[in-house]
A and B are shown apart, each in its own frame.
Chain A
Amino acid sequence: MAAADVKRHSKKRKAAPEEEAPAPPPAAFPQDVGLEMGSEDEGEDGGDVSDDGVVDHFPEIDTRSDTEDEDYTEDGEDEPDESEEDEEEDEEDGESSEETSDDDLGIFPKAKTVISDITGQPKRVYPDIEPDYDSDSSTEDTPNRVGDIPMHWYDDLPHVGYDINGKKVLRPARGDELDKFLKTVEDPEAWTSAFDKNLQMDKPLSPEELDIIRRLQQGENPDASYDPYEPTVEWFTGKGKEEIMPLSAAPEPKRRWIPSKWEKQKVMKIVRAIRQGRILPNKPKTASTQPQFYPIWNDEPSSAPAPLPAPKPRLPGHAESYNPPEEYLPTQEEREKWEATEPEDRERDFLPQKYAALRLVPAYDQFIKERFNRQLDLYLAPRVHRVKLQIDPESLIPKLPSPSSLKPFPVYKSLQVAHEGRRVRTVSVSPDGGWVVTGDEGGVVRLWEVMVGKEIKRWTFKSKIGAVEWCPRTDVSFFAVAIEDRIHFLFPPNLPAAILAATQHALSPANLPPPPAVPSPVKWVSVPAAQSSTDAPILSLHLPSSPEPPKQLVWHRKGDYLASVSEGQAGVWMHQISRRHSQAPFKKIKGAVQLVLFHPSKPHFFVATQRYVRMYNLAEQKLLKTLMPGIRWISCMDVHPSGDHLIVGGYDRKLCWFDLELSDKPYKILRYHSRALRSVHFHPTYPLFASSSDDGSIQVFHARVYNDLMTNPLIVPLKILRGHEVKEGLGVFAVRWVPRQPWLVSAGADGQVSVWCS
């Protein structure tokens, strides 16, 4: 069968050339492979005609074509003619052009298109194959025509593939081992043959192949033509070849220095087009032709929020189901009520309905309306991005220890001492914690026991008491009272003899120290020790006259220096008891001095003006730092017993905690009082401080200061003590801690002095 087919094909092929001549093959392979180049080569005239009147873009010059030109010149020594060029190009174009060349040789028959008699459609007819004398292949062995297939596919099968008609090609019978042996005996060539899987037969190896095998066996180069012992060709060495490089010794071609004809033609074409105005060198620039790019990274990133997502439609619930559970179905009353209400007032814009099957559900009559509403939602939706913070408010509150774990601190009013309705401006507790001295605006100074509240002694002066302050020394016992322009020194009754003698000696020494070189405007007047009594001041200082009494007295920790602050410019005086000398430490101070304070351990001195607290070094007489509490009017301040922390209270309700090592700005600002602060005080030993205010309350704080510089002070509000009445807008004027006990003494505008116990 297969052989017959082949014959038929060959007949057709033989017939083809006859009809080929009159009808060239229909443009199966258009012959214009080189036409592009050809059209360019055509010359100037054709281009002129075709391009007439059309404004062209500037033609691109193909750089590739130049290199191709170069290649040609490299290949051939001489400039090739055009036919050669065509051939080259044809070869580059690949298989299709090969067929063309085959066609010329006449091996493959050319198909002819004819109109079919039967269908009336054009059909392709191949010429008959003309049998000539070598066309008969009947004598040949029928080769195995299964094609170029991987033969191992059929290793386990009885056939070795399929012929062109789809019939199995059976595996030819092979002899058994005895046949093989006999073959090797009979055929001397048998040992040089190998089994060809494609042909399914033994093929004798050619002498060349045998030679290759032999070479491989001997480890030689399998290529027979390779001569390993070629004579040396002295390309670069030897006489006369020293300078000549191997590539080419040909003289430079002429084209290397004459301008290219084709380029000239291309350029001239462009030049002519420009001259005739067909090519404009620069297109007119309009706004639309401006470059449409811009640097997108140069601008600052927009602070506008990200575009908001459209509001999401509500997800349908069970009620929207076509087959909702029974409990979602409205009752008759609900249905009537729903129908009675206006559509705008309805909670839901539908009534749940039940259908037995999805196919029974009618078309949704509200569909258009719902879609329309959705569109309205999308473009009329209030595009406000509400960021809902998922923060537990409890977590924002700082973790503070509970006050009950920070006991002891004062919690209740133990007792109260009345001052007959006069405002008690000042209070001071003795350093042993047993006695309190209070001074009111009526000029009465009272001395009473802390724990009983019994007045032991009373001194009456003419005008209001500005300040009272116990001397912190323990070997003597006296306190200073500021009235008008005097500072009186008093000592309590019932002193032990040794302390009394020391007090009298300190305040009224038998032989006065030599007067200072620079006379001071402050006069020291003392009663001789023998005539001194508890009833009258043993020592008085006469300050320069001032309308108001000194509003603050403060002792240095060692009890030798006493600083007093009066109204006016030169209001700060420093009095030294042992030398009986007073001096004004500051010639001039910016702003009115409100308060002064001694540092507990260093020779530093705090001066609070209306807004700032300045820290001076008294030994070196220079300003150390200026603290800016940010308070409009400072009313009170106190320094921590460690000396590293300062609290400042103001009339604008703020209390600032300064870490003196840390910064000029407050470490913490506490704004817990509702009215102006009047007094703050640190406990000398317990980690407590208290602040009093015009709102009538006293606030007690736990303030633990760590020696470790890295740990911030711990400030915990502990207790608000209420009990003082607010009179004429004035609340608690002064708070003082009782040394050695967590007790607080407070003096108020209502004339009451209270002792608060733990």
Chain B
Amino acid sequence: MASTSTSEPTHPVVFTTQTPYALPSQKFMIPTSWKRYQLSQLVNKALSLPKPIPFEFLVQGEILRGTLAEWCAEKGVGEEETLEIEYFESVMPPQRMSTLPHEDWVSSISCQLPGYFLTASYDGAIRIFDYSQKLLHTTAPHSAPISSLCIVPEPSRADDSSHLLATASQDLTARLTRIDLSSPSSPKAHTLASLHLHTAPLSSVSASPSGAHILTSSWDGLIGVFDTSIPDADEVPADEVAGGERKKRRKVVQEDGSEAPRPKRKAPTTVLKSHTARVSRVVFGPEAKGASAYSCGFDSTVRTWDVENGVCTSTITASSKPFLDIALTANGHTALAASTDRTVSQYDLRAATTSATTPSVATLTHPATPSCIAVARPSASAPAVSTSASEHQLVTGAYDGVVRLWDLRSTRAAVAAFRAWESNAGTGPKKVLSVDWARGLVGVGGEGGVEVWKVGEGDRITTTA
């Protein structure tokens, strides 16, 4: 290159990319003192892009964080070796979009519904916000804290205004609630069914991509498989609960809608039993049929389930890592599990064996307990997000109130981090309990309510904006 001065040591480099911004495949002599910024400028100038796009550079699968010389010295790469550097659009610094205040802690947030945020809170209520931070509706299907919320996809349904929600609560039930958003001013919600299986508080609920099944996990080590059809009559007889609680629940239902029928009590179709301690999270695999499920628990295992047959097909056993959350990457081959030893471990599900302790592929080390993981999931409404970079990215929320954006190609440090809820000095950090990432928006729910941050690749932000 013309720009390289002869006095400075240089390194031969070949640039590759999977983005549309490809450089000619020739060897460049790059000064070893260059960092990401200079490399990015080089690409921009070489392509003469109308609008500068920041790029991130991967040297042998690792994000370049210092100068090229430092990287070579660390890896022991000689000066004559040709380096292959891959580049992709870098992540813009996350920006706070909006804050949705809550009175109580938010245990779960979903951004999957375009145009809306759904939050589940410890006061037992589901709140629906639209993108203008307006609280559209509040419904309280549970009297006890809700621990998890998910949207049951309904591909067969034509209208886009009505959605089915599944919530898991500490009152030992999960519930199916239908919300009707046809009239934006007065959305309606009524609870259709309550799912009865567990004898301990529920920790998570997950719906299959086809929307036919729901998985619930609980502290009692069981995973329940339910179908989403609403029965005509109770499948489970009403339990003889003491007066106080029953009264309360009935009152809640009556407040919601006096004409609405009492939710039907549903029984599980299958119970998945294998965990020996609390199951903290269960998710469906990415297949459309929802044949496989993955769960993690406090018994330091990640289990793969054949949902149809109700058997555990493989187990990943870690040593003393009580897992708190699990997420699958878009291709479904990699599981990311957060555990209380302040790590998020990456496991290859294809290599899972049932025998011994499975070593993790990579470990993301956090300074505090990571409580939740989210990957940018491809959703039906926004199909074109599965670019090369987003496959490797995930966000984790931790108890120190910091949400970190990671790239699995560079696991030593987070790519970006931001602190939700400016904490005032007295109380200490506010815990992040739930993150969700869709369409470039990361919803952060936790102790301080909900915040929405804009996180994504450069091009996507430009297209959405």
Chain B: minimal CB distance from A100 (Å): 116
Q: Are A504 and B342 in contact (CB under 8 A)?
A: no
The answer to whether the Cβ of A183 comes within 8 Å of any Cβ in the partner chain is no
Asked if A414 CB lies within 8 Å of chain B CBs, one says: yes
**B interface footprint on A732-756 (CB within 8 Å = 1, 0 otherwise):** 0000000011110000000000000
A407 within 8 A of partner (CB): yes
| B428: chain A residues within 8 A (beta carbon) | 416, 418
Once the chains bind, are B240 and A501 in contact (CB under 8 Å)?
yes
Q: Give the residues in chain B near A529, CB-CB below 8 Å.
A: 242
Does B144 have its Cβ within 8 Å of any Cβ on chain A? yes
Query: Which residues 86-106 of A sit at the B interface, judged by CB distance below 8 A?
Result: none
**Taking the complex as formed, is B340 at the interface, i.e. its CB lies under 8 A from any CB of chain A?**
yes
Among A407, A494, A499, A741, which residue has its beta carbon within 8 angstroms of that of B322? A741
Across-interface contacts of B369 in A (CB, < 8 A): 414-415, 757
Residues on the A chain within 8 Å of B371, using CB: 452
A504 touches B242 (CB 8 A): yes
Q: Nearest-CB distance from A419 to chain B (Å)?
A: 12
Q: Residue on B with the closest CB to A497?
A: B239
Report if B15 contacts A (CB, 8 A). Answer: no
A492-509 CB contacts (< 8 Å) to partner B: 493-494, 496-501, 504
Q: Which of A453, A497, A530, A757 contacts B431 (CB 8 A)?
A: A453
B residues less than 8 Å from A321 (CB atoms):
none
B84-118: which have CB < 8 Å to A?
105, 107
Chain B, 155-209, CB within 8 A of any chain A CB: 170-172, 199-201
**CB-defined A-B contacts under 8 Å, sample of 16:** A408-B320, A414-B340, A414-B368, A416-B428, A418-B427, A452-B433, A456-B170, A494-B170, A494-B171, A498-B199, A500-B241, A532-B242, A533-B244, A740-B298, A757-B340, A758-B320
Closest chain B residue to A534, Cβ basis: B244
Question: Which residue on B lies nearest to A434, using beta carbons?
Answer: B219
- Closest chain A residue to B122, Cβ basis: A454
Report the Cα distance A658→B319, complex, angstroms.
32
Are A757 and B341 in contact (CB-based, < 8 A)?
yes
Q: In the complex the two chains form, is B122's CB within 8 Å of A412's CB?
A: no
Residues on B with beta carbons closer than 8 Å to the beta carbon of A223: none
Q: Smallest CB-CB separation from B239: which chain A residue?
A: A497
Main SS at interface, chain B? loop
B278: Cβ under 8 A from any A Cβ: yes
Given A530-B242, A533-B244: A758 in contact with B199 (beta carbons within 8 A)? no
Closest 8 interchain pairs by CB?
A: A408-B320, A497-B239, A533-B244, A496-B199, A757-B340, A414-B369, A494-B144, A494-B171
Q: Convert B431-443 into 0s and 1s, putting 1 for each residue whose CB lies closer than 8 angstroms to a CB of A.
A: 1010000000000
Beta-carbon nearest neighbor of A435 in chain B: B201
Query: Is A377 at the interface (CB under 8 A from chain B)?
Result: no
B277 at interface (Cβ–Cβ under 8 A)? yes
A451 adjacent to chain B (CB < 8 Å)? yes
7 more A-B residue pairs beyond the given contacts A415-B369, A496-B199, A529-B242, with a C-beta to C-beta distance below 8 A: A454-B105, A494-B201, A496-B172, A532-B242, A533-B244, A740-B277, A757-B340
Q: Indicate if A432 sits at the interface (CB-CB under 8 A).
A: yes
Closest A residue to B105 by CB, please name it. A454
B318-338 residues at the A interface, CB under 8 angstroms: 319-320, 322, 324
Contact status B340-A758, CB under 8 Å: yes
The yes or no answer to B24 lying at the interface (CB within 8 A) is no
Closest to A740 in B: B277
Given known contacts A451-B324, A496-B199, A534-B244, A758 and B341 CB-to-CB distance under 8 angstroms? yes
Given contacts A501-B240, A757-B341, contact A454 B277 (CB under 8 A): no
Q: When the two chains form their complex, are residues B320 and A415 in contact, meaning their CB atoms are under 8 A apart?
A: no
Q: How many residues of B contact A (CB 8 A)?
A: 37
Q: B residues engaging A (CB < 8 A)?
A: 105, 107, 122, 144-145, 170-172, 199-201, 219, 239-245, 277-278, 298, 319-320, 322, 324, 340-342, 368-369, 371, 399, 427-428, 431, 433
Where the two chains meet, the residues of A that have a C-beta atom closer than 8 Å to any C-beta of B are: 407-408, 412, 414-416, 418, 432, 434, 451-454, 456, 493-494, 496-501, 504, 529-534, 740-743, 757-758
* A415 interface neighbour in B172, B201, B240, B399, Cβ under 8 Å: B399
How close is B325's CB to chain A, nearest CB, in angstroms? 11
Given A414-B369, A757-B340, A758-B341: A496 and B320 within 8 A (CB)?
no
Partner of A434, one of B107, B145, B201, B399: B201
User: Which chain A positions have C-beta within 8 A of B199?
Assistant: 496, 498-499
- Which residue on A lies nearest to B277, using beta carbons? A740
Query: Is A454 a contact of B341 with CB atoms below 8 Å?
Result: no
Is there contact, CB below 8 Å, between A434 and B278?
A: yes
B245: chain A residues at CB < 8 Å are 493
- Alpha-carbon distance A418/B426, docked complex (angstroms): 10
Contact residues in A for B324 (Cβ distance below 8 Å) = 451
Check A407/B320 contact, CB under 8 A, given A418-B427, A434-B278, A533-B244: yes
Q: How far is the CA of A224 from the CA of B433 in the complex (A)?
A: 137
Write out the residue numbers on chain B whose beta carbons fall within 8 Å of the beta carbon of A434: 200-201, 219, 278
B89: shortest Cβ distance to chain A, in Å? 36
A500 to B240, CA, bound (A): 10
In the complex, what residues of A have CB within 8 A of residue B241's CB? 497, 500
Chain B CB within 10 Å — which of A407, A414, A740 has the most? A414
- The residue of chain A having its C-beta at the shortest distance from the C-beta of B433 within the complex is A452
With CB as the reference atom, state the residue of chain B lying closest to A743.
B340
CB distance from B133 to the nearest CB of A (A): 24
Q: Which residues of B contact A496 (CB under 8 A)?
A: 172, 199-200
Of all chain B residues, which has the CB nearest A415? B399
Cα(A529)–Cα(B319), bound, Å: 45
Task: Give Cα distance in the complex from A495 to B89, angstroms.
Answer: 51
Contact A432 B201 (CB under 8 A): no
State whether A497 and B240 are in contact (beta carbons under 8 Å apart), knowing that A415-B369, A741-B298 are contacts in the complex.
yes
Q: Are A742's CB and B320's CB within 8 A?
A: yes
Q: From known contacts A453-B431, A456-B170, infer whether A432 and B320 are also in contact, taking CB-CB under 8 Å.
A: no
Residues of A near B399 (CB, < 8 A) are 414-415
A451 neighbours in B (Cβ, 8 Å)? 324, 340
Chain A residue at minimal CB-CB distance from B399: A415
Residues of B within 8 A of A740 (CB): 277, 298
Give chain A residues whose Cβ lies under 8 Å from the Cβ of B172. Answer: 494, 496
CB-nearest residue of chain B relative to A686? B320
Give the interface centre of A452, A500, A530, A532 by most chain B CB atoms within 10 Å.
Answer: A452
CA distance A506 to B257 in the complex (A): 38
CB-CB under 8 A from A414, the residues of chain B are 340, 368-369, 399
Task: Knowing A414-B340, A416-B428, A758-B340 are in contact, say whether A454-B145 is a contact too (CB < 8 A).
Answer: yes
Q: Closest CB of chain B to A679's CB: distance in Å?
A: 23
- Please name all residues of chain A whose beta carbon is closer than 8 Å to the beta carbon of B342 when the two chains form the complex: 412, 757
Find the A residue at minimum CB distance from B427. A418
Chain A, Cβ-Cβ closest to B371: A452
Which residues of chain A come closer than 8 Å to B122, judged between CB atoms?
A: 454, 456
Whole-angstrom distance between the Cβ of B46 and the nearest chain A Cβ: 47
Q: Min CB distance, B365 to chain A, in Å?
A: 12
Residues of A within 8 A of B145 (CB): 454, 456
How far is it, in angstroms, between the C-alpha of A6 and the C-alpha of B201 when the chains are bound?
145
Residues of chain B within 8 A of A456, CB atoms compared: 122, 144-145, 170
Give the chain A neighbours of B431 by CB distance below 8 A: 415, 452-453
Residues of chain A lying within 8 A (CB to CB) of residue B219: 432, 434
Contacts of B298 in A (CB 8 A): 740-741
Chain A positions within 8 Å of B240 at CB level: 497, 501
In this complex, what residue of A is CB-closest to B171? A494
Q: Which residue of B lies closest to A456 (CB)?
A: B145
Instruction: Report how far A452 CA is from B446 CA in the complex, Å.
Output: 10
Which partner residue on chain B sits nearest A531 by CB separation? B243
Residues of B within 8 A of A407 (CB): 319-320
Which single residue of chain B is at the shortest CB-CB distance from A503? B242
User: Hey, which chain A residues are within 8 Å of B278, CB to CB?
Assistant: 434
Cα separation A418 to B340 with both chains bound (whole Å)? 21
- How far, in angstroms, from A439 to B122 measured CA to CA in the complex? 22
Q: Which A residue sits closest to B280, measured CB to CB?
A: A451
Closest Cβ neighbor of A407 among chain B residues: B320
**Residues of chain B within 8 A of A497, CB atoms compared:** 239-241
Which chain A residues border B244 with CB–CB below 8 Å?
Answer: 532-534
